[in-house]
Amino acid sequence: DPKGTKISQQLIEVRRMIEIGAAELCAVRCSDSLVDDLRKCVEQMEAAAQVADVDAFVEADIEFHDAILGGTGNPFVAAIFDPMRPTIEFSRTQTSAIPLIREHAITEHRSVLNAIATRDPEAARHAMTSHMDQTQRDLEIYVLSR
């Protein structure tokens, strides 16, 4: 599996299982300061995308998702991701090198942010589902098909 196709697909499966529910729970439990942190992450992603700084983009992307996991108020949710962190970072660096994927990611992250900011768990679930769908499509179209 030279492209890491199977690992990439498995990672998205796990992310769907955990992050969609985490976004929903975060919308109910998060603080105003957490919403501010999420907003800063999206702004950092936008700034990094403008200058094609992939490392800074990936860092802000991962911080965004970590903040949501933390925003659930359940330490087990974040702990589940710890063993996968190196694989997640590698995968994100691969996909984030592609400008169009960065654009998609910013749009999807902003939708998740807006849903959580309005404290709407159903909207947060929907937005994170959309983000996972887009991530899977981008992976299939721009990375795995090469």
E strand or H helix that includes residue 66: helix 54-71
> In whole angstroms, how large is the CA radius of gyration of the chain?
14
For the chain of 146 residues, list the mean pLDDT of each consecutive stretch of 10: 74 95 98 98 98 97 97 95 90 91 97 99 99 93 80
CB 112 within 8 A of CB 23: yes
Apex 57 CA angle, 53 and 61, nearest 5: 175
The single-letter code of the amino acid at 71 is G
What is the pLDDT, as a whole number, of residue 3? 57
- The token pair that represents 62 in the structure block: 């991962």
The single-letter code of the amino acid at 135 is T
**Domains delineated in the chain:** 5-144 (1.20.120.530)
Is residue 73 left, alpha or beta, with left meaning phi > 0 and alpha meaning psi from -120 to 50? left
- Residues of the chain by 3-state class (helix, strand, coil), percent to 5: 85, 0, 15
What is the pLDDT, as a whole number, of residue 1? 54
Residue matched to tokens 């955990």: 18
CA–CA distance, 58 with 61 (Å, rounded to integer): 5
Residue matched to tokens 């995308």: 49
